[in-house]
Chain A
Amino acid sequence: MAPVLELVGLTKAFGGLTAVNDMSLTVEPGEIVSIIGPNGSGKTTLFNLVSGIYEPDSGDILLEGESIAGLRPDQIQAKGISRTFQMLRLFSNMTVLENVLVGMHSRTKTRLLGAMFRLPWVTREEKEAVARAQEILAFFPGRFSGPRQSQPAASLSYANRRRLEIARALAGEPRILLLDEPVAGMNPAESLEVMQQIRELRDRGQTILMIEHDMKVVLGASDRLIAMDHGVKIAEGDPQDVANDPRVVEAYLGQRDAAAS
């Protein structure tokens, strides 16, 4: 089976700074791969390349064998890559349900004239979309029940906003889900819950590529771990091994500290 996502020698430089340098990785179907690395190591740039905000200087991005490098973000989302953001980006003044419905944009078809005259099939599609959105929201039991769905996203608690972002990404029925620090800012109990839910998603067959700093979550959820520093991959493999790899420890703590410990 072809890998869901394959990056081949991906490079992106901003002026003199090479943020991502000759980066290659593969994500197999049904796998959770995590990327760790100190601030500025190029993790988010890598996500921005894969999701289409930046175009790579060289290298290629393959989604199930098909090159998607150079496509626009909306095209890439339609092809099957959904993402969340490190700094939350919800549609704050739209309701919880509408946020998820927007995530389904590429999976629904209603066009202007159909919407204007509210043709029968448009009403049917809308009903189906709402049912599907509620199903997705139900993945987070008790968080988005009943009247909460018609409240604006801005009224949600911080952790629920993070959950809603994941729900919106799932609404795009992605072949691979990119999570950028899904538990950032959550307390330990919330982090644990999200971690379990990420594993549950994987058990349902969802392939996931995630950036995360919280080592408990990284070690608890990942099947494979990749460490980056200064735009290059410095370690890859079993999560426990990578976390203990001297190069990784050095990248985080600096050379002298690594020698001391």
Chain B
Amino acid sequence: MAKSGDKKRGPIATALGRVPRWVYLTAALVLAVLFPLLHSAGLMDMLWIRVAIRSLTFVLLALGLNVVMGETGLLNLGYVAFFAIGAYTTALLSSPSLGFHWSFWPLLVLSMVFAMLAGLLVGLPTLRLRGDYLAIVTLAFGEIVRTVFLNVTSITNGAAGIPAIYTPNIFGWVVTEPPQFYYLILFFVVVVVIALTNVKNSRVGRAWNALREDEIAAIHSGIDATRAKILAMVISAGVAGLAGCLFAYYQSFINPTYFLFMQSVIVVCMVVLGGMGSIPGAVIGAIVLDSLPDVIRATFSDWLPRVFGPTFMASWPAWLQSFFTDFEKYRLLLFGIVVVLVVIFRPEGLLPDTLWRSETHEEDPREQEYTRQTLFDIDEGNQDLEA
């Protein structure tokens, strides 16, 4: 926070904080748009465009989960279910498996609508529950959805999955190559960021935040808690459905193993890493956490050997060499370490919501108030005695 947080910041952070926000946003957008040109110019392997597409898919998921978890304060541990519903909708209606070939836009909308209906279905009976119960119910829902897709073999082809999903044709633009997919997903990321930012800074977003901060005070301020929570759940599911649709098109093959419980956990980690309730945080958290394993692997198997010669790791024990060169295997270990470090050293996340920041570092005002109230009660008791 620019005003009250200044005393804790170093001079660099303060200087960075003075740069207007639109400068950062424009710079990020320009870099994102120019990124695939590195490949066209022969400076970068196609692999990194694939990594970026995967990261942007996670960005969408993190943005969606942030609505329900970060802004409204409801822990959803089955978020990947909505992603799966979006992906399966697209896969089934745009592949030879059932003989449908819907076009891109209707399918995109339908994927979102189905995911949102699922959000409504889970939300209606469960959002009256307290947070912990909600987490359990959503966790179970995530597993149920995956199990259904795994077992309704007549439609979904079970574990073998749905192959040969058609490439999207958007007003004549046939999206086949990774750079094209990159731009397609980037477009939707920008649209979702703008839409969610607008909502966040409106009456609707404030109601969500109020529910997160103090539900009793929120309902006494005229907020219909159940309705607002269901709305958050449905919006967040819709974003996951969108991500699922794009994912299915890009992969051109999906099966239930893409939608394991672990994926939900990873998205939760991304939101926590970025900073709960922070939209730029969700973007950064998803990119960092998703691309870090690839960056580490490439550092040791590609970039460092180029600098120090191909044999610089020769004296290292074999397990250590393979640890770094096959780092993809250890990504869950990395996620665990990153989350623990964040919780210890930067509990508000990498790029915290300005509002969120104060809660984690300053003393809890409710506690101070309790102390004061207790002192007051004692004082009052004394006065009563004197009277």
Mark A residues whose CB is within 8 Å of B.
51, 53, 72-74, 77-78, 82-83, 85, 87-95, 98, 101-103, 105-112, 114-118, 122, 126, 129, 147, 150-152, 154-155, 158, 161, 168, 172, 184-185, 213, 252-253
Task: Report the nearest A residue to B205, measured CB to CB.
Answer: A115
The 11 listed contacts between A and B (C-beta, < 8 Å) are: A72-B224, A74-B223, A87-B369, A92-B214, A93-B356, A101-B203, A105-B210, A109-B203, A116-B199, A154-B358, A184-B376
The answer to whether B373 touches A89, judged by C-beta atoms less than 8 angstroms apart, is: no
- Which residues of chain B have C-beta atoms less than 8 A from A51's C-beta? 220
The answer to whether A90 touches B220, judged by C-beta atoms less than 8 angstroms apart, is: no
- Which residues of chain B have C-beta atoms less than 8 A from A109's C-beta? 203
* Cβ < 8 Å to A, chain B residues 92-145: none
The answer to whether A151 touches B4, judged by C-beta atoms less than 8 angstroms apart, is: yes
- Which residues of chain A have C-beta atoms less than 8 A from B207's C-beta? 102, 105
| B214 CB to nearest chain A CB (Å) | 5
- Which residues of chain A have C-beta atoms less than 8 A from B4's C-beta? 151-152, 155
Residue from A90, A103, A152 within 8 A of B214 (CB atoms): A90
Complex Cα gap A88–B376 (Å): 14
| B234 CB to nearest chain A CB (Å) | 9
Task: Report the nearest A residue to B220, measured CB to CB.
Answer: A73
- Which residues of chain A have C-beta atoms less than 8 A from B356's C-beta? 93
The answer to whether B358 touches A73, judged by C-beta atoms less than 8 angstroms apart, is: no
Complex Cα gap A91–B218 (Å): 8
Kindly state whether residue B306 has any CB partner on chain A within 8 Å. no
Complex Cα gap A103–B223 (Å): 9
Complex Cα gap A77–B219 (Å): 8
* Cβ < 8 Å to A, chain B residues 212-231: 213-214, 216-225, 231
Complex Cα gap A107–B221 (Å): 10
* Cβ < 8 Å to A, chain B residues 194-208: 195, 198-199, 202-207
Residue from A88, A98, A118, A152 within 8 A of B198 (CB atoms): A118
Kindly state whether residue B148 has any CB partner on chain A within 8 Å. no
Residue from A90, A106, A129 within 8 A of B222 (CB atoms): A106
The answer to whether A117 touches B358, judged by C-beta atoms less than 8 angstroms apart, is: no
Q: A115-B202, A213-B380 are in contact. Are A93 and B219 (CB under 8 A)?
A: no
Task: Report the nearest A residue to B387, measured CB to CB.
Answer: A253
Kindly state whether residue B42 has any CB partner on chain A within 8 Å. no
The answer to whether B199 touches A94, judged by C-beta atoms less than 8 angstroms apart, is: no
* Cβ < 8 Å to A, chain B residues 1-34: 1, 3-4
Kindly state whether residue B309 has any CB partner on chain A within 8 Å. no
